Structures are given as structure tokens and as C-alpha cells.
Structure 1
């Protein structure tokens, strides 16, 4: 086994630890210039004739995303809503997370010993069956660093796409480190004698960037990325993002309508949408007339987070098992489909709590004073959230589809949920069908 040394491993590239609760989002102001237009009673030519510019053509779901004056849209007499933008929840500590310095078998990757999440899922045993070959997973997020040593084998830069229009392009961590961490959980290389391992290192990653540097992601761009994932035949699309709480009335009702069209279309075409349930510690089943988007949409896999307390806590061992519901995770009967490792924490372990988080790839972008991209620093870091739980499921979906390429999205979902581990110690509302077990799914 390649050397793992606690002393060298804890060298800091910054001064702060990775944070808790990465991945839920909060709603920001609605746009006064971009709108989603329902085209079931109009056409693109009529929309353009009204003086509106088409930003995204989502004809598969009878929606156009347009820019222009609201009065021009009103003249069409169609249903529409202003686009909204969302800000990604950042870690509690805003500084740089801990990064680590840098085999033929999964267990021989240098940092596998601290990947409790992969150990709990029996990922080495799963890789004896398949590593996810001949599959594709879209990462709809802040951008994936194609140059990271543990992801260079996986990212398809030709298919990767920037949905923000900010000019930075795709295949880089332009919107932050979050997307690279998510992608590593799915597909970090298990055969390069370095770093960490992903659940499906044989899969292909497509970067679908919807966040800009220090900016927000729009609902419309997220929809466009989902539709694009279907167009390119992604077996799964991971969305470690969302907005909560969102009112079911008004604009929320329109959003729910077009979102359900999108998720139903994706499901029918074979793309499994895997979505973080959120980090608000909220009971989504009994939270009044509000909704979590897109986690509570139809035909998606909504993922809650689990994690241990006291991993690597010397001779004392675990204080709580890896399937313990995370303190921050959203939950709720009929709102959560499955639980997966996302990381946990306990204030009683201040010196080593980060070992209970999820360790994987990271890339921190660097810009000059004019906003020009100067490259990224690559490393590894601990983060936690349903953001980290969702890609565990997306990776497992790639494994299942690799083994059984003829399965449709419903069958992949059923395989994952029916093989999930039942947990007796904690309330079922935290897990839906149970805790993800990729190896059992393949068996």
C-alpha cells in the first residue's frame, strides 16, 4: 500500500478545515430580464417576432428561456415566470479547506484508509464486478476540474458545457471547488497510485457548469443542463444543489410545472436524476405549503445524508455508525428516496471531527484582479452535506447501468432502492428505502 502518514497528511494549504453542509441553496432575487416561457400555446418564431432573444431552447419540455422586456412576453398571452437565481451554501468556514499532499486495486489508493464512505459501501468488492465502464454521468454544479490528476481520465471536455454564458467555458472549477469534489466522489481514479477512489472510476464525467465565480445559478440554466444531459445520453445527472423553502403558489407553481416536465422527460429517456435533499434539518413531509426544488420533483432520486461520529478516533472507535443520519440532513417520508454517505459531525470531537466528513478531490480556482482565470490548485479535502451524498448514488447508478446497460431509469432506481440496507436504529423517514449499498445492487 502507498504510504499514508497522518503527520504529513495534515499539512495545510490554508488555515481552515473543510466545512459542514455544502450543497443546499437559498433563493435570491428574481430576474427582471430573463424569463421562462411556456410554448404550448405559441412558437419560437412568434416569441422572436415579439422582440425576445432565445437563451435556451428547451423544446423537449415546451419551454423557451428568453431575455427581453416582460411587456413583450405579456403580449403573447402565454404562461411565463421570471428566472430566479440561487446561491450555493458554502462551508461554515469560508477559508480554504484542508488539502493533502500528494494502484492497481482500489484499496491501494493512498487515501482510501480515510474514505470511510467507500469502505462502508464495499466499493472494492463492487469494482470486482464493474468500475462503471461505458457509462456517462453529468455533474451539474460549479464546474469540474478536468486537469485534476484524479479526474483527468474521466472528464469529457468536448461534451462539457458552460450554461452561464460568463465566458470561462467548461472543464474547469470556474464557479468554485464544489463541483470537483462532487465529481471525485463519482469517478476519482482508482488505478493511478495516487489520491482517492471514486465509486465509478470507469464512468465518463461531463461538466455542466451552472455557477459563475462568486455568482449565482439560475433556475433556467439548471433546467437547460438537465435537458442537455438527456440529449447527450447521460446515464445519470447529479444535482448537488437546490432551493428551500419555495412556496407552492405563484411563481413556485410555474416552476414546479416546468420542473416536473423536465424530470419526467429525463426519466423517460433513460437519464436518472440524482438530487441532494438539502441541509436544513427539515422534515420535508410536514413543512407546510412549501417545497424543496428540485429534490421534491417527480421521477428523481432524492438523497439524504448519513455519516459516522468518531471515525479514526483512536482506540475508542466509532461513537455512532456510518449510517447515522447526519445532523443537518433534510428528511421526510415520501420526500427522501435513499440515504447515502454525506458526512457527519459532533462538537465533542473538535480535534478530529473532519474525519467524519467526506474526503475527495478539490480544485480551488484563482483569478487576477480583473477576473481573468489564472488556473487552479489541485488537492483533496473534507466536505460534508447532502451534496456529498448525492454523487454516491450517481456513482452507484453508473455501476448498475454498466453491468446492465439495458435497464431504463426506473429500473436503475428500483435496483438501488430495493437493494438498500434497512436500518432499524433510526427512523425510516431519514432514509426512504434505506441506505445505499452498491455492492448489493450489483449482486
Structure 2
């Protein structure tokens, strides 16, 4: 099978991205009646309703009359809320998956090349994340999944949207469930999959609604909430690119930095997906990627193998790899100072997609669910826990978030900056690869511990 070169792939990634990369978001629209407000510490004016107060910061989210905000002396600055859209790629929907009953009896790690490459089983000889807390700010975590029911703290989990539901995912969006599994899946009593920190206390912060949109303001509120419930790590496998650096982009960047700086000060390390646009963030002078380019962000690029369990290089040997797990994924954003670490997020060979080879083995395998019609009325009504593949910097970030929880567990006196420093100091850029894809280097959990 002939593979495209990385240069060729990057040239056409705009066309392929929607079919392969997972978890990136785009700016969809601005709200006309919902505002992010930076106050002067004097409270909010009459004529608006508070949606999120964000204690500990001078930020709030309100709905109401714009003129009331314009006239209020206690308001320093405000701008319309931004609606972001989570793009689930066609590839992630097309790969096989198992429901929990079909998967029963399989070894928990037989498809998890990411955990094997990171030496997670060896790291668990030191700690499995005991005494830590990780918040997942995403599309919701299915609390009935057998691999997540143990780690998930239902009492602290929250829905930050206005859709009236609880923290659980709505519709068929299992993105947050997959992310959460990468962090903390506890192997479901020996029949499931492994997370990096299965003994952490997992908090679900749902910011995506059934329509697939997420309010930028809800994301800010979830970041502040994570800090206020003493999360040691918050994972954000989401983002918006390109956001203009000028005009309102300056305000959104400023309030994001304010929320992120507060979280960092409170001890919450913010691990954020770098994005899946094949973009050189280092040299983009006109646009910014948010929130991974915000203050205190630990921005994560994606890597992955080509040929895991299939003969990608056509030499007749399905046990070797055409590309190793630390190879940059073709879709990942990059930039030496824009990326902090590289980590397993999954890769794919475009030439193999649609063929009968198991190309999807090169994606990340973990917890998902299917949405099935169990009462026979023709309408999906039940979320059935299962296991499947996804790829993206969305999958790389939780591998780092879980690693951060392990470092914090082994070093309970570390603050957020010290946890990040341990991860960065342990990382190295793989031989023969460009530093721009890795920042400090490829995630090395054992040396970080």
C-alpha cells in the first residue's frame, strides 16, 4: 500500500480533516442576548439575569438588555457570548465499536497501544491517581458505563448548559465519554479498558448541548468551577480556531486568561487539546486558537502509529509499524511555543480508509456508547455502554491529564506549575522529528514520576 508523505497529507488536510480528526471546534455564531461581562467588583446592573457568577473572578455571564450593560458603571467591559461547535468526524462514526456485552471477556488493554507506549502499567506500580481529582469539560460522561461508574463523582458533576438536563451526555455524543475513559477508565472489573489514572476522582462538566454547540461562557464557568471544587487537573478537549486576534478576539482572550489564571492559582492544571487543523500556531499572526493558547494552558499535540496490527508498509509483516506511536499525527496543530507536549491521540493512513484493513487500530481505543432503539418504536432511546476508537488532539490531551494526576498523586504537595514542570522536564523530542510538533517533547510518565 502506498502512503502519502506528511507534506502531501498536510496540503490536503483541509479536505480530509472532517473525515479523520476528532474533537476540534469552530466558531459558529455570537449570541445576541447572552453576554460575558467583566465587572469592576460592584455587582451587576438591573435589567440582566445572571447565568454564571464565577466566584473568585470578576467575570459573570448574563442574559438581558445590552443597553443595561452599556449604562452600568460597575461593568468594565462585555461582549456577546460565542457559540462553538464540536465536530465529530465521519471516521470516528464509521469505525467498529462493541457494546459491553459483546466485549466481555476480552483483555482490557489488547487494543490500547497508547497505554502500552506510555508504560501506564508500570506507572501504576507507583500510583493509579489516588487522592487526586480530574475535571472533564466536554460533552458529558455516561455514568452508567461500567468502566466509568467507579471513578465518576456524580455529586460534583454538573451541566453548564441551559438545556435542562443533568451532566450525562445528550443524544449520541460520546466524545466526553471517550475522553473520560482515557483519563480514568477502571477496567470495569477486569473486562473493560484502562485509563491512565483509574483511581482519580472524576468530575464531569458538560458544556455541549444536544445540538452540538457549546457556549464559550459555559466553558469559562466550567473552568472556574473546576478550580473551586479543587480539581487538580481540568481537561478541555475542545477549542476554536481561527479566532481573530483583533476586535472581540482581544476581549475573549482577556477573559479566558483571567479564568485560566485563576484556575492555575487555585492549583488546577489546565490540559487542553491543541486542535486538529494542521495549523502552524507559532507563526499565525492574525488568528489565535482558544483556549489552548490562553494563559497557563498545557497545550497538547497528537501523535500516533501507522500499522498497529496491520501491514501498513506492505512488507508482509503485520507486527511492525510504518510509523511509531510518537510520530506526529497528520492533522495535529503545531508550533514550538504553542504546544507544550505531544501525546498519543491516534493517526490514520488516508489511503487505507475504506479498505478492508483494520486501519482504525491506529486510533485511540476506549469507552464509548451507542444510541439504540430498545423499545422498537423506531426512535433511538437508550445509551448502551461500549468501546470504540476515536482520534484527535482531543484524545491526546486526556492522556496528559491522566499523567498529571499520577504526578500529583505521587507528589501531593506539588502545585499546578510544579506538576506541569515535572511533565515537561521528563519529556524529550523523539529523534528525527521536528520540535515544533512537541514543545518540550513526547509524554514520558515514568520519568515524570
- The answer (yes or no) to whether the contact 2:197–2:402 under 8 Å persists in 1 is yes
Name the CA distance, whole Å, in 1 between partners of 2:191 and 2:185.
10
Aligned residue for 1:80, secondary structure, equals strand
Query: Could you say which residue in structure 2 is the equivalent of 1:227?
Result: 224
Q: Which residue in 2 is equivalent to 1:328?
A: 331
- Cα 1:180–1:94, aligned 2, differ >3 Å: closer, same or farther? closer
For these two proteins, the number of residue pairs brought into alignment is 414
Which whole-Å deviations, capped at 9, do the CAs of 1:86-124 have from their partners, x for residues lacking one?
Answer: 00011124746421254xxxxx97141211100000001
Q: Which residue of 1 aligns with 2:12?
A: none
Question: Residues 101 and 34 from structure 1, CA distance in 2 versus in 1: closer, same or farther, beyond 3 angstroms?
Answer: closer
Deviations 1:236-280 (Å, cap 9, x if unpaired)? 000000000001111110111111111111111100000000000
Give 1:48-87 correspondences, 5 Å limit. 49=46, 51-77=47-73, 78-87=76-85
Aligned to 1:345: 348
Any conservation in 2 of the 1:141–1:209 contact (CA below 8 Å)? yes
Greater mean alpha carbon deviation, residues 296-305 or residues 359-368: 359-368
1:157–1:171 Cα contact (<8 Å) kept: no
The answer as to 2:173 corresponding to 1:179 is no
Residue 438 of structure 1 corresponds to 445
Alignment of 1:153-232 (within 5 A): 153-172=150-169, 176-190=173-187, 192-232=189-229
Give the structure 1 partner of residue 10 of structure 2.
none
Aligned partners of 2:389 and 2:324: how far apart in 1?
A: 18
Measured after TM superposition, the shift of residue 82 of structure 1 is 0.3
Residues 169 and 243 (structure 1), Cα distance of their counterparts in 2 relative to 1, 3 Å cut: same
Matches of 1:355 and 1:149, distance apart in 2? 23
Could you tell me whether the CA contact under 8 Å between 2:281 and 2:335 is conserved in 1?
A: yes
Q: Say which is worse superposed, 79-88 or 162-171, in terms of deviation.
A: 162-171
Assess if the C-alpha contact under 8 Å between 2:123 and 2:445 holds in 1: yes
| CA distance, structure 2, for counterparts of residue 179 and residue 366 of structure 1 | 18
1:112 aligns with 2:102: no
1:377 is matched with 384
Moved more, 26-35 or 185-194: 185-194
Partner SS, residue 163 of structure 2:
coil
Q: Mark the runs of 5 or more structure 1 residues left unpaired by the alignment.
A: 1-17, 103-107
* Aligned residue among 348, 361, 367 for 1:355: 361
**C-alpha separation between the residues in 2 aligned to 1:360 and 1:24?**
18
What corresponds to 1:128 in structure 2? 125
CA distance in 1, matches of 2:232, 2:93: 35
Shift in CA distance, 392/94, structure 1 to aligned 2, threshold 3 Å: closer
Q: CA separation of 1:201/1:305 partners in 2, compared to 1, >3 Å: closer, same or farther?
A: same
Q: Is the 8 A contact 1:35 1:81 kept in 2?
A: yes
Deviation of 1:366 (Å): 6.0
8 Å contact from structure 1 (residues 303, 337) kept in 2: yes
Distance across 2 between alignment mates of 1:334 and 1:437: 19
Query: Residues 147 and 188 of structure 2 are in contact (CA less than 8 Å); yes or no, is this contact kept in structure 1?
Result: no
Deviation at 1:300, TM superposition (A): 1.2
The structural deviation recorded for 1:191 is 6.4
* Alignment match, 1:318: 321
Choose from 292, 303, 312 the match for 1:306.
Answer: 303
TM-score (norm 2): 0.88
Q: 1:248 to 1:175 in 2, by over 3 A?
A: farther
Structure 1 CA distance for aligned equivalents of residues 292 and 79 of structure 2: 20
Report if aligned partners of 1:223, 1:262 keep a CA contact under 8 Å in 2.
Answer: yes
Runs of 4+ with deviation above 4 angstroms: 93-97, 172-175, 365-368
Change (3 A) 1:58 1:261: same
**Residue of 401, 410, 432 corresponding to 1:403:** 410
Aligned equivalent of 1:419, options 415, 423, 426: 426
Aligned residue runs from structure 1 range 247-286, under 5 A: 247-286=244-283
- 8 Å contact 2:424–2:440 — kept in the other structure? yes
- The offset of 1:173, in angstroms, is 5.0
Alignment RMSD: 2.1
**SS class of match (1:60):** coil
Cα separation, partners in 2 of 1:412 and 1:109, compared to 1, 3 Å: farther
1:74 Cα offset (Å): 0.9
Equivalent residue number for residue 236 of structure 1: 233
Deviation at 1:160, TM superposition (A): 0.3
Q: 1:175, 1:212 within 8 Å by CA — same for their partners in 2?
A: no
TM-score (norm 1): 0.89
Q: CA deviation at 1:59?
A: 3.8
| Contact 1:340–1:435 (Cα < 8 Å) also in 2 | yes
Partner of 2:32: 32
Q: Secondary structure of 1:113's partner?
A: coil
Whether the aligned pair in 2 keeps the contact of 1:173 and 1:376 (CA below 8 Å) is: no
Contact kept? 1:175, 1:211, Cα under 8 Å:
no
From the superposition, tell whether residues 167 and 373 of structure 1 become closer, same or farther in structure 2 (CA, over 3 Å): farther
